[in-house]
Structure 1
């Protein structure tokens, strides 16, 4: 089945206001920036986003965030995104912060049909006990706090119950993909993209290089096409338009 669509706009055209999205990417690596921009151009709002972080350097999800299109985020990292921090502390957005490994497993569980699982991460903290501020009231108080979660003991350790995540749609970016939706990711962009893809009921992938079926060695496939419903081939300019979050370089004196 050929899953390639003609444009990013066509790929996201049926995403409605209020949809939930699992979005791949790790920092600025593997972020589906073209699909996100297409969603912005469509004017979609009221989005419930699940992603490790919410964009940076006015790119990726930061585009939707700055426009007030996101109402809730489930993620692990605010980082240097000052607008994200401002909206959260000002009560404009709801944020469920969870441990990074737990987020990864909740997405994977959703894709595997596992409704919940137990993990030691967060036991003895507000992650398990409840009380984490999900939404502030704009005046420094907490309007919505996280609930307490079930704790069980296995052996001599306590574990907290975490529920799987599924979303209406998933957006991701791959280094290479074929027309059947089989995808290959580059380095750290593999951290969350495959997991986001598994959690989405309809998964849309932008690919930097489009291959014909059979051109990708099956042993090199990171995500099989069964998890992908739509593929968008990027132009060379789109594929190479990548930002660097933190530039570090040695001086000539140090190198010498």
Structure 2
């Protein structure tokens, strides 16, 4: 198996993640979250991370815990998300925000996705009529286009994207399973370096090309899930 993109450990795959980096982290509800990579990241001596993570857990089911390994060590300074926490669920996100140790920027889910899409497409940003007239929109530049007021959303990119997939070949072509196919495809395109945590890794040519969602050109590194 060609091993150019396949790393022997999460530690090696994350070796150049630095303090102050912007991380795009995939996952929705409790699915498609790159937990092996998150746990390995918590072992690094880094801080001041900016995390783009928007799992949108279903109401009352559980507190959002996926980032707890990083939050417990005070490694995250800023969170960009559509929905950070439900009140009084014991979430570390809520407690660190309440104590002033974590800043949170809330962006509606669809617009957050569009900002990432623009970043992945190499655009400076996009205009959209969505959100006009809301209290949230006052932070943004507006412009009239074809008779409609539109918000300007700056593109959003990350230094690193951490995504989860079911299968990959050693070239980084990714196949997702079910809800794994959430933020992964758009985040993989919007990062300088994309690291994929994968259940099964195959030789090039072994996967059905019709099932591939994220082309390997957007994936820089692979680790097998559970590989510390």
Please give the residue correspondences for 1:29-108 in structure 2 after superposition, counting only pairs within 5 Å: 29-53=31-55, 59-80=65-86, 82-108=91-117
What is the rounded CA distance, in whole Å, between the counterparts of 2:65 and 2:207 in structure 1? 30
Q: Report the equivalent of 2:11.
A: 9
The CA deviation at 1:155 is: 3.1
Q: Report the equivalent of 2:157.
A: 166
What is the rounded CA distance, in whole Å, between the counterparts of 2:221 and 2:208 in structure 1? 20
Length-normalised TM-score, structure 2: 0.89
Q: Report the equivalent of 2:134.
A: 125
| 1:207-253 alpha-carbon deviations (Å, 9 max, x no partner) | 01111111111111110000010000225xx7xxxxxxxxxxxxxxx
Q: Report the equivalent of 1:181.
A: 172
Q: Report the equivalent of 2:118.
A: 109
Where structure 1 has 5 or more consecutive residues not aligned to the other structure, the ranges are 130-147, 239-256
Report the 3-state secondary structure (helix = DSSP H, G, I; strand = E; otherwise coil) of the residue aligned with 1:160.
Answer: strand
What is the rounded CA distance, in whole Å, between the counterparts of 1:65 and 1:115 in structure 2? 31
The CA deviation at 1:157 is: 2.7
Q: Report the equivalent of 1:249.
A: none
- Structure with the greater alpha carbon radius of gyration: 1
The CA deviation at 1:62 is: 2.2
Q: Which moved more, 1:52-61 or 1:173-182?
A: 52-61
What is the rounded CA distance, in whole Å, between the counterparts of 1:27 and 1:113 in structure 2? 29
The CA deviation at 1:54 is: 9.1
Paired positions, count? 218
Q: Which moved more, 1:68-77 or 1:45-54?
A: 45-54
Task: Check whether the contact 1:33–1:59 (CA below 8 A) recurs between aligned residues.
Answer: no
What is the rounded CA distance, in whole Å, between the counterparts of 1:231 and 1:19 in structure 2? 19
Report the 3-state secondary structure (helix = DSSP H, G, I; strand = E; otherwise coil) of the residue aligned with 1:175.
Answer: strand
The CA deviation at 1:123 is: 1.2
Q: Report the equivalent of 1:23.
A: 25
CA RMSD after TM alignment = 1.9
Where structure 2 has 5 or more consecutive residues not aligned to the other structure, the ranges are none
Task: Check whether the contact 2:198–2:224 (CA below 8 A) recurs between aligned residues.
Answer: yes
What is the rounded CA distance, in whole Å, between the counterparts of 2:6 and 2:136 in structure 1? 41
What is the rounded CA distance, in whole Å, between the counterparts of 2:64 and 2:179 in structure 1? 21
The CA deviation at 1:19 is: 1.1
| 1:59-95 alpha-carbon deviations (Å, 9 max, x no partner) | 4322212321100111111234622122223322111
What is the rounded CA distance, in whole Å, between the counterparts of 2:178 and 2:92 in structure 1? 28
Report the 3-state secondary structure (helix = DSSP H, G, I; strand = E; otherwise coil) of the residue aligned with 1:101.
Answer: helix
What is the rounded CA distance, in whole Å, between the counterparts of 1:90 and 1:41 in structure 2? 24
Q: Report the equivalent of 1:232.
A: 223
Length-normalised TM-score, structure 1: 0.80
Q: Report the equivalent of 2:205.
A: 214
